[in-house]
Amino acid sequence: MIDLLQTLGSGVLVGLVYALLGLCIVIIFKSSETFNFAIGEFLIIGSFLFYTLFFNETIPWYKALQLGAVIFLFFSFILFYDKNLRLRIALPLGMVTGFLIFCVFFFGLKLSSLITSSFLRFAIAFPLGLLAAGLFGAMVERVTIKPLLGRSPIAMTIVTLGLGFFLRACVQLIWGSHAYPFFLDLPDITVEVGDLLFLSDPIWAGIISLIIFGLVIAFLFRTRWGLAIRATSEDQAKAMAFGINARFILLLVWGISALCIAVAGIMISNFGALQVSMGFVGLRAIPVVLIGGMDSIGGAMAGGILVGICEALAGAYVEPLGLVGFKAVAPYLLLLIVLFIRPYGLFGTVRIERV
Amino acid sequence: MLTVENLRVVYHDVISVLNDVSLDVKAGEILIIIGANGAGKTTLLRTVSGMIDFYDGDIIEGDIKMEGVSIRGLDATDIMKRYGVTYVMEDRPIFWYLTIEENLKAASFSRWNKQIKTDMEKIYDYFPVLRPQQNKKAGYASGGEQQMLAIGMALMTRPKMLLLDEPSLGLAPLVTEELFDIIRQLNRSGITIVLVEQNAHAALNIGIRGYVFETGRIVLDGTAQEILENEDVKEFYLGSGERESKSYKDAKRYKRRKRWL
Amino acid sequence: MKKRTFFVVAFILALVFLSYGAVCAKEIKVLAQFPMSGPVGSLPEFGWGFIDGMNWVNGEGRGVNGKKITWYLEDFRYDPTVEVANFNKYTAEHSRDELLIATGYITGGLKPLIEKVNVEEKIPWIEGSYSTEIWGEKGGPSKYPYYYSLGGTYGNQIKLLMKWIKDNHKAKGKPRVGFVYSPTAWGRDGTPEGIAYAKKLGFKVVAEIEYPYSATAATNECMQLRKAKAQYVVYHGYSGATAHTAIFFKTAKKILKDVQLMGTHYTTLRFTILTGQEAFDGYVGVSTRPIMDAVPRIRTPMDNPMVKLAHNFAKKYRPEEYEKGLKAGGIKEMFLYTEGLMYAFLIQNALTDADNKYELNREGIKMALDNMVWDFNGMFGGKSFSWKSHTIPMLRLYRARVEMVKMGDKMVPTGGVVPISNWINTDEIKW
């Protein structure tokens, strides 16, 4: 019994992280009917941005310069793109931001020398890293997805595939591809009751993922911007006709998505180390969203937890029977069963039909 | 108020939809645009409201002016915010999976402020059927309610000019009548209205002036009364011309065009 | 007309001249392949070592009796198919007389190439993998006459760990051993031999866990080991440079508190200290090499001549990278650099031997390698080996000692792997 509890518990904790991954796919899918295959690369880049801030890691000047230049170009691009306006704002803002990014990455944030408490350091670097990740996601959307707005969603999906390869190569160029040590040193909250043992890291991962999940949902369902996102998700043309800037909303969605992926990436990296090849974790989102339903936010949560539990159960009860490696297949088996019964996933939208 | 000059629009760089369309809308009037399917009415509205980019269309010639200022190439949101032109798309452009209240809120996104609540109350006064269903998903409302919601949403943007694209589509005659009443009321409250309709008779009855579109050109213009009395219009749009037996063969476009031009 | 004739003649002459030159100046060509990128991480150190070594060989080292070696370096991204394809490409492009030695680095690439290397091409192949299947009891020179390895097989490595358990087991009852390995050709190699030997010694093998490539957490694996009450866990099949190793050690340290973690050669590295930090403390592992690197690098023991040589090489030819260390673009692990360097020296040695004593062709080099007696620059405690068995049967046991030290404003791990045994010749052990 305790055994089962243990397995289920650890499954749920990891499942919460998967749910967050699923959420990132779902919100992008809802707003642009695109499946973001570059999720793994978003995960790595988000984690690396956080890593750079948190561990006071600096990168060589020419790479920092490149990053700064890219950010500068982005800002110029994003603002110049609006043909009529904002010429005067774009240039200085881009320059200032580019310079700041350059400074941060070249000199480091020096957080560790300023703040001794690792938890406080985390509390400062975490939002900053996430902000950077979100900005990065927005930038990617602007450059690759926006030009395709109004075209077939398949086109965008294919673009994300190519984007994945490109970004992976970029990460390898800037950070190399070996494993980076990753210790968040969050307060130890290990739960140990008798035989029951839950480690501190997965608990933190579960809690933080849950919080971020809740924040995103609150944002979507409680704020005006969230309403605009939901409206745009339904129909971009209608939203535009009612004065919602669908292009900006898409940018926002990609930003939020990249931010959430970064959270998942940081939490998963904290289990071990940060490495380019950890990007495959992002593909866990596929069974998660397909089980939960491609367009259901609640489904992402359910799918994530189901996949987590399924993996844990398979690992704990099926593998010892001699089916070695079954754990990696189990979520897909579950997916197959779910799709047989409900082709749109467990919580996939049932189309509204008027009677 | 709105002037369109020699407008020429193509979709996907090849499909020419509007050819040399020139028209003007005077402030405070109800302008009726009628025409067969594929005549370019919807394209005209998309172009004016700045949505044409989204459908991969291009303005290759001509200009659109709002009170003398060119708005060609502006974003849909910019046109709406600055010039108060709101485009109500055909087929009830509401968000099906949001509740009616959320729909109204979403529509007021571009001018979010304290007055939203009072504005919403106003909409509910205009369309009392919506009030009891506030928290119902819009997709479950009836066709008439949905169309009213759509117009209500358009009003939430505080428009100076409404571009209505076939609001009567798929509605029962009684509901259509009610709808047109509301449109007339809106017009009286100072909103200029451009109404694209297939239901030509009803539309022309509330309209002041009208244009007839045919394969991307304007073939006839005049006051609503003039158009109503035109023989060809009677024959092909109002269905109340001479009582001869007509076959589709006779309805061929080029024949009619010959008579008009 | 005249002009055209002139050009045709000139062209033919040029062709003849070129081909004559090509026939006459028979080059000595060498192909080296390393996994410098890919899933195990970015390890350009292999290449740097090989390049520096080869440049030295062709310069100060005077090549093969004055003749220069033309070398080719390929990165096969830890992908067996790429390794095989590269090899096929080079053997097709270059004649048998010229391409004399090839090297490889992973177990997965060895098996598909058995036929090609040993039967068709008959080219001496120096390998970085310690596959039990190829060099163990069931393989060996009689079966795979052209494969050469540079260390004791994985099977022997795990068996040696079992032997260590037998000698050091203090708790009551029979030792309970768990095995965790990767689902790769590498991970599956050697584990069965180790398990069989453990059973022969009377141990209880309580768990055999395949630790998947797609793992994000090792909680389940570790809980399984805890449930099985394992006392010793052998970890095999992922290099210390991957995140998997870090995940496993970090989790295992917390869940399996009193368990002795053990591992094979590629885990007993400086990398694991850096990524696993405290969790790596106390680990017992086998290695086929002396200590190459400690954290910080200054603390590396320099008593081994080959290690000293490698560090001097790195300082001389790659000062910037040597200085950078773990930062991007630095030499993160001297083992890798040394490995590349040693390949260069070994190739020079073999070619020179072949040139002096036999013929400078593939057969001659095979003879030279078979009869070579070399101390590998004193790498294995100054002992020389004959390479008759095509492996170097030397292994050594190490224990990891890691201490967290406050350095500036960060806590950094310091320490290294410390030898806890002498060099052990596995050929001399009675298993």
The pLDDT value recorded for residue B261 is: 45
The reported pTM is 0.83
From the list B47, B30, B33, the residue with the least C-alpha distance to B166 is: B33
Q: CA B141, CA A355: separation in Å to the nearest integer?
A: 10
What's the mean per-residue pLDDT of chain B? 83
**Mean pLDDT calculated for residue range B34-61:** 86
Please tell me which of the candidates C42, C246, C271 has its beta carbon nearest to residue A272. C246
**C155 vs C374 pLDDT, higher one:** C155
pLDDT at B165 over 50: yes
Q: Hey, is the C-beta of B70 within 8 angstroms of any chain A C-beta?
A: no
DSSP assignment of chain B: -EEEEEEEEEETTTEEEEEEEEEEE-TT-EEEEEE-TTSSHHHHHHHHHT-GGGGTEEEEEEEEEETTEE-TT--HHHHHHHH-EEEE-SS----TTSBHHHHHHHHTGGG-STTHHHHHHHHHHH-GGGGGGTTSBGGGS-HHHHHHHHHHHHHHT--SEEEEE-TTTT--HHHHHHHHHHHHHHHHTT-EEEEEES-HHHHHHH-SEEEEEETTEEEEEEEHHHHHH-HHHIIIIIS-S--S---GGGG-HHHHHHHH-
Is C86:C75 a contact under the CB 8 Å cutoff? no
pLDDT(C203) > 90: yes
Domains defined along chain A, listed by start: 2-57+108-183+205-341 (1.10.3470)
Contacts of C241 in chain A (CB under 8 A): 178-179
* pLDDT one-digit tens code per residue, B15-43: 888 888 888 888 888 898 888 888 888 89
pLDDT score of C399: 93
Q: What does the pLDDT read at residue A107?
A: 65
Nearest partner of B41 among B67, B62, B23, B63, judged by Cα: B23
CATH topology assigned to domain C5-152+301-386? Rossmann fold (3.40.50)
State the pLDDT confidence band at B248, using cuts at 50, 70 and 90: low
- The answer, yes or no, to whether residue B190 has pLDDT greater than 80, is yes
> Which chain C residues touch A269 with a CB distance below 8 Å?
243
Interface size between A and B, measured as CB pairs under 8 A = 99
The model's pLDDT over B76-89, given as tens digits with 9 standing for 90+, comes to 888 888 888 899 98
pLDDT digits (tens, 9 = 90+) for A183-230: 888 888 888 888 788 888 899 999 999 999 999 999 999 988 899 999
Q: Which pLDDT belongs to residue A97?
A: 67
What's the CATH number of domain B2-84+159-260, 3.40.50.300, 3.40.50.2300, 3.90.320.10, 1.10.3720.10?
3.40.50.300
Between B108-117, C1-10, C59-68, the lowest mean confidence (pLDDT) is in C1-10
Q: Residue B5: exposed, middle, or buried by beta-carbon count in 10 A (0-12, 13-18, 19+)?
A: middle
Query: Domain C155-294+394-425 in CATH: superfamily?
Result: Response regulator (3.40.50.2300)
| Residue-by-residue pLDDT tens, chain A, 355 positions | 888 898 899 899 999 999 999 999 999 998 888 899 999 999 998 998 888 888 766 666 676 677 667 766 666 665 555 544 455 555 666 666 667 666 666 666 666 666 667 778 888 888 888 888 888 888 788 778 877 776 788 888 998 998 888 888 888 877 777 788 888 888 888 888 887 888 888 999 999 999 999 999 999 999 888 999 999 888 888 888 888 888 788 888 999 999 999 999 999 998 888 888 888 888 888 899 999 888 888 899 999 999 999 988 988 888 778 777 788 888 899 999 998 888 888 887 665 555 4
Cα–Cα dist A53/A67, whole Å: 14
Asked whether the ipTM of the predicted complex exceeds the cut of 0.90, the reply is: no
Q: How far is B139 from chain A (nearest CA, A)?
A: 6
Quickly state the pLDDT bin for C380 (edges 50, 70, 90).
confident
For helices A246-271 and A224-234, what crossing angle results, to 10°?
100
**pLDDT higher than 90, residue C3:** no
Put simply, the answer to whether A240 touches B97 (Cβ < 8 Å) is: no
Out of A23-27, B118-122, C40-44, least confident range: C40-44
Mark whether B and C touch (3+ CB pairs within 8 Å). Answer: no
Residues contacting C168, CB < 8 A, separation 6+: none
What are the residue ranges of CATH 3.40.50.2300 in chain C?
A: 5-152+301-386, 155-294+394-425
- pLDDT at position C56 is 92
Domain boundaries, given as residue ranges, for chain B: 2-84+159-260, 93-158
Q: Is 50 exceeded by the pLDDT of residue B258? A: no
Angle between helices A87-107 and A61-80 (to 10 degrees): 160
- CA–CA distance, A56 with A108 (Å, rounded to integer): 5
Of A183, A274, A316, the CB nearest to C277: A183
Dihedral sign from CA coordinates of B88, B91, B92, B95: negative
pLDDT bracket for residue B257 (50, 70, 90): very low
Residues B17 and B52: beta-carbon distance below 8 Å: no
Segment (H or E) for C51 = helix C45-58
More confident residue, C405 or A90: C405
Chain A contact probe: residue of C48, C181, C220 with most A CBs at under 10 A: C220
Q: How many whole angstroms from its chain centre is CA C154?
A: 11
pLDDT recorded at residue B128? 87
Going by pLDDT thresholds of 50, 70 and 90, the confidence category of residue B254 is very low
